[in-house]
Amino acid sequence: MAEKFSFYNSLTRKVEEFVPLEPGKVSMYTCGPTVYHYAHIGNIRTYIMQDALVKALTYAGYEVKRVMNITDVGHLSSDADTGEDKMLAGAKREHKSVMEIAKFYTDAFFRDFEAVGNKMPDVIEPATNCIPEFIHMIEVLLQKGYAYQAGGNIYFDTSKLDDYYVFSSSVEKEELQIGVRDDVEEDINKKNKTDFVLWFTKSKFEDQALKWDSPWGVGYPGWHIECSCISMKHLGDRLDIHCGGVDNIFPHHTNEIAQSESYLGHDWCRYWFHSNHLNDRAGKMSKSKGAVLTVSVLMEKGYDPLVYRFFCLQSHYRKPLEFSFDVLDNTRATYNKLIKRVSELNARGEVSEEAKKEYMDRFREALSDDLNTSMAITILYDVLKADLDDATKLSIVESFDTVLSLDLIGHAKKLSEDASVDPELEKYVLEQIAKRAEAKKAKDFATADAIRNELLEKGVEIKDTREGVKWQLI
């Protein structure tokens, strides 16, 4: 049976006990990346904290089904309906087709996503796969009187709702109304300033690359419709948890709720999990700012991607987090010390199941306290300090790492192996690796292969990885 689990619900603005629609099961939807550029480490912070939520729920005994979309059409350069399509802008920038851009950045995204220890979502669906579903939802919204056609586009009519700003307090509602009024690029087709586009046939950008036939003419979907449709396609008419970054709350999630509940005629999603931003000294990290710091770049600079995960897990997901290389260097030192301590544990001996349960309960309770990952890490240190035998400690570390995903045991094993390597052999291997790199640079592949084979004969296997050449004794 699944255990009690609580976290902050942005809809009710309270930490609430999670009660799923179906006992023991969780349906979860995550807004995926807009694939016109690399995902920066800020985006990846959001996905690390969502991964921690998935794994914490799993640790508490739930079976989680997670769906993620890929935004490959419709997201304009402003989150409101103004500006150019981000995908088209990316394609123009790189002189490629929109689909080439989408494929390239989707692959890059999932490489970084997995490198930081995230579990792949159960379903990944690009928006361009679901055009018939979008058209169907828009047709129903038109039939029910929640949408209207103007100037060639289809708009959602927000005045039909009693409460459009569902996430906001009354003060915030006023601020938002002022903000929306001040929007400089006014669309004269809209009946209300908060109305949003469901389907575009008329855009200022006539060279829109991806277009589909629809009952309203050839065009393309608005951004918000994709998440409602993709979620319902895979998770049904009622959803347990919807995740995103805080910037998604308005207008994206507000609009998702408006159209979904109008379409369905009943409540849609009960729990909304929003994580806060990663900032650098210049402010919020943003893809549109140009040069982006990615997980791959961190790896090229020699950081283990799990050090970045550790950095994220040490702070609470609802607080903004400031990134700097100084802090990352400190985190790396702490991570390395942690690995060293785990590597010193001796696996032999009997595991005390009673002690293990006690710590597992504490760990689960910390996570159930609004996903308090830093407290969960403190409990990991408590285990290492505790008066327990090594086998018990190791077994608890292994269990905690199903949530933390810091590869504590794997890295510790590697450290012990490295420590047992004869320093003379290590020196020789590193020299040979350098020689091989030179040979490869000079396109002398025969020498490069000969070096690899010679090392293999000595029981040393070398592998070319994205983090550089790795070697191990076989």
- Do 356 and 392 form a contact (C-beta atoms < 8 A)? yes
| Nearest to ligand AMP of 148, 311 (CB atom) | 311
Under rule CB under 6 A, residue 33 binds ligand AMP: yes
Q: What contacts 428, CB < 8 A, 6 or more positions away?
A: none
State in angstroms the smallest separation of the CB of 174 from Zn ion.
26
| Nearest to Zn ion of 30, 372 (CB atom) | 30
| Nearest to ligand AMP of 194, 248 (CB atom) | 248
Q: What contacts 80, CB < 8 A, 6 or more positions away?
A: 183, 185, 196, 251
Question: Which of ligand AMP, Zn ion, none has residue 255 at its interface (CB below 5 to 8 Å by kind)?
Answer: none
Under rule CB under 6 A, residue 244 binds ligand AMP: yes
Under rule CB under 6 A, residue 222 binds ligand AMP: no
Question: Which of ligand AMP, Zn ion, none has residue 247 at its interface (CB below 5 to 8 Å by kind)?
Answer: ligand AMP
**Residue type present at position 396:** I
Residue 454 CA: distances (Å) to CA of 70, 259, 447: 46, 65, 10
> Would you call the peptide bond into 251 cis, given omega within 30 degrees of 0 as the criterion?
yes
Question: Which of Zn ion, ligand AMP, none has residue 227 at its interface (CB below 5 to 8 Å by kind)?
Answer: Zn ion
| Nearest to ligand AMP of 43, 343 (CB atom) | 43
**From the CB of residue 402, how many other CB atoms can be counted at a distance below 10 Å?**
11
Residue 244 CA: distances (Å) to CA of 10, 170, 187: 11, 23, 27
- Give the Cα separation of 14 and 11 in Å (integer): 8
State in angstroms the smallest separation of the CB of 284 from ligand AMP.
5
Under rule CB under 6 A, residue 45 binds ligand AMP: yes
Q: Which residue is nearest to ligand AMP (CB)?
A: 245
State in angstroms the smallest separation of the CB of 87 from Zn ion.
15
Residue from 11, 28, 31, 355 binding ligand AMP (CB under 6 A):
31
With contacts defined by CB under 6 A, name the span among 29-37, 51-59, 156-164, 408-416 that binds ligand AMP: 29-37
Residue from 9, 10, 34, 106 binding ligand AMP (CB under 6 A):
34
- Do 413 and 340 form a contact (C-beta atoms < 8 A)? no
Residue 235 CA: distances (Å) to CA of 11, 67, 369: 20, 8, 26
Q: Rounded to a whole number, what is the distance in angstroms from the first to the last CA of the chain? A: 43
Residue 26: enclosing H or E segment and its boundaries? strand 25-30
With contacts defined by CB under 6 A, name the span among 38-46, 167-175, 254-262, 360-368 that binds ligand AMP: 38-46
With contacts defined by CB under 6 A, name the span among 41-49, 62-70, 227-235, 442-450 that binds ligand AMP: 41-49
Instruction: Name residues contacting ligand AMP, limited to 410-439 (CB under 6 A).
Output: none
Q: What single-letter DSSP state applies at residue 416?
A: H
- Give the Cα separation of 384 and 334 in Å (integer): 14
State in angstroms the smallest separation of the CB of 244 from ligand AMP.
4
Of 279, 256, 281, 282, whose CA–CA distance to 267 is shortest?
Answer: 256
Residue from 20, 42, 126, 251 binding ligand AMP (CB under 6 A):
42
Q: At what angle do helices 325-343 and 408-419 cross, to 10 degrees?
A: 70
Residue from 43, 168, 372, 373 binding ligand AMP (CB under 6 A):
43
**Residue type present at position 228:** S
| Nearest to Zn ion of 141, 227 (CB atom) | 227
Which residues sit opposite 34 in a β-bridge? 71
Hey, is 127 helix, strand or coil?
A: helix
| Nearest to Zn ion of 125, 365 (CB atom) | 125
The tokens describing 466, both together, are 């994205």
| Nearest to Zn ion of 228, 331 (CB atom) | 228
Question: Which of Zn ion, ligand AMP, none has residue 90 at its interface (CB below 5 to 8 Å by kind)?
Answer: none
Question: Which of Zn ion, ligand AMP, none has residue 34 at its interface (CB below 5 to 8 Å by kind)?
Answer: ligand AMP
Under rule CB under 6 A, residue 370 binds ligand AMP: no
Residue from 9, 10, 27, 46 binding ligand AMP (CB under 6 A):
46
State in angstroms the smallest separation of the CB of 33 from Zn ion.
10
Of 78, 76, 108, 105, whose CA–CA distance to 89 is shortest?
Answer: 76
* Interface pattern 110-149 for ligand AMP (x via CB under 6 A): ----------------------------------------
Burial classification of residue 134, based on how many CB atoms lie within 10 Å of its CB (0-12 exposed, 13-18 middle, 19 or more buried): buried
Under rule CB under 6 A, residue 278 binds ligand AMP: yes
State in angstroms the smallest separation of the CB of 249 from ligand AMP.
9
Of 45, 256, 229, 105, whose CA–CA distance to 166 is shortest?
Answer: 256
- Give the Cα separation of 74 and 225 in Å (integer): 9
Instruction: Name residues contacting ligand AMP, limited to 246-265 (CB under 6 A).
Output: 247-248
**From the CB of residue 464, how many other CB atoms can be counted at a distance below 10 Å?**
12
Residues that bind ligand AMP in the complex, under the rule CB under 6 A: 31, 33-34, 42-43, 45-46, 71, 244-245, 247-248, 277-278, 284-285, 287
